Structure 1
Amino acid sequence: MRRELTAKGKATRHRIVEGAAATLRENGVGSVTLDDIMARTSTSKSQLFHYFPGGKDELLLAVAHYEADQVLEDQQPYLGCLDSWENWERWRDVVVARYEILGDTCPLGSLFLQVGRSTPGARAIVAELMRRWQESLAAGIRALRAAGGPSAEFLSAEFDVDARAAALLAAIQGGVSILLATGRSDHLRAALDQGLADLRRDLTPAGAVAPR
């Protein structure tokens, strides 16, 4: 079992992961060596293996975890306060802009190609990312319902918030997959626009005008 890192040790490990992530973003996963990362982070080989005994594979998984956190962090503050349609629209713009900037060079996708998406560590990172993302979307939908006050009572018992959040997340991932393959964000935009339009329709009482 590994000893618990001190505050200084945690800071050093985080610095190495951040430096490795920046190096991989700039140069691509396939062309980066441990020597490149050591030079970027001013880390000796013994120090690197002290924090990552499994070598490059363990470091890549740590970077994948860091990049997964960045996926959600880049959507803030809107992902954490989806309590109005205005914030949902702003969140949508942030998501589209993020993937348009990344284009077909999504660092998280590249990392998983390198370490193997089916490895237990990689699968756990993907599962945790999707769980946190879906829970945030579901919380946002519930916040919209709560903001609707008594009018929210019109919703039928068949309106499944968690299923709607899952469908919205799946639509995003489909749009991102096409963007990564083609370099075009049209499908991602369409998926988000349709998902929000459906949500707005279903959360608006019959005869009422959907808020903008």
Structure 2
Amino acid sequence: MSAPLTRKGAATRERIVTGAATLLRERGVDQVSLDDIRAATATSKSQLFHYFPDGRSQLLLAVARHEAQQVLLEQEPQLSDLGPPGSWSEWRDVVIARYERQGTRCPMSALTRQLAPSHPEVGAVVAGLLTEWQRRIEAGLARAGVEQARTRAIIILAALQGGISLLLATGDSTALRVALDAAIADLLETPSGAP
């Protein structure tokens, strides 16, 4: 959309995106139509196409951006608090609980699979999510005084992504738990002399 949205317009657009995201999480991308989204968000057809003139694919891309933000928001405040002893185990528990709740249905993966062939910008959404996630982990490692924080952040994120992929394929979170625990094992230890 070229013209900036009014506050009311931005709220309406956000209502459509969050409503669509909720439906897609519950039913899956292939099971939700624009009519379903209109009904769930109390949106008229003209409103829907006002905010998403290119239709379903444009709305799905907006939902993918929303879901990417949710991945990080659902790790707060633990993700921003990474650094001191105890913070790593709290964050790990939040991440594992989030993905266990999600199970084998990942709206982000489903959206990117469906959009990727015709929407190259979806790659930028995924890349942006992973870059920001890595940056936030790296900041926590720096606060913890870890050397080569960037390299360690890459290792931790790779362990996370590998574990998440296996959970999505099998429905079993064991690989996610094992990989993440191995990647942050030394950060889970209490410093000597600490209670």
- Give the unaligned 5+ runs of structure 2: none
Counterparts of 1:80 and 1:102, CA distance in 2: 22
- Aligned residue in 2 for 1:35: 35
- Aligned residue in 2 for 1:105: 105
In the TM superposition, 1:146-157 aligns within 5 A as none
RMSD: 1.9
- Aligned residue in 2 for 1:183: 171
1:141–1:177 Cα change, 3 Å: same
- Aligned residue in 2 for 1:169: 157
Shift of 1:198: 4.1
**Partner SS state of residue 83, structure 2:** coil
Checking the alignment, whether the CA contact within 8 Å between 2:104 and 2:168 is kept in structure 1 is yes
- Aligned residue in 1 for 2:84: 84
Checking the alignment, whether the CA contact within 8 Å between 1:117 and 1:123 is kept in structure 2 is no
Normalized against structure 1, the TM-score is what? 0.86
Identity %: 52
Shift of 1:73: 0.5
Instruction: Give, as a single letter, the amino acid of the residue that structure 2 aligns with 1:179.
Output: L
Counterparts of 1:184 and 1:98, CA distance in 2: 13
- Aligned residue in 2 for 1:64: 64
**Partner SS state of residue 144, structure 2:** helix
Counterparts of 1:23 and 1:110, CA distance in 2: 13
**Partner SS state of residue 110, structure 1:** helix
Counterparts of 1:93 and 1:41, CA distance in 2: 33
Counterparts of 1:77 and 1:105, CA distance in 2: 24
State the structure with more CA Rg: 1
Normalized against structure 2, the TM-score is what? 0.93
**Partner SS state of residue 85, structure 1:** coil
1:20–1:179 Cα change, 3 Å: same
Checking the alignment, whether the CA contact within 8 Å between 2:78 and 2:87 is kept in structure 1 is yes
Counterparts of 1:101 and 1:70, CA distance in 2: 14
Instruction: Give, as a single letter, the amino acid of the residue that structure 1 aligns with 2:91.
Output: W
In the TM superposition, 1:99-138 aligns within 5 A as 99-116=99-116, 119-138=119-138
- Aligned residue in 1 for 2:8: 8
Residue correspondences, number: 195
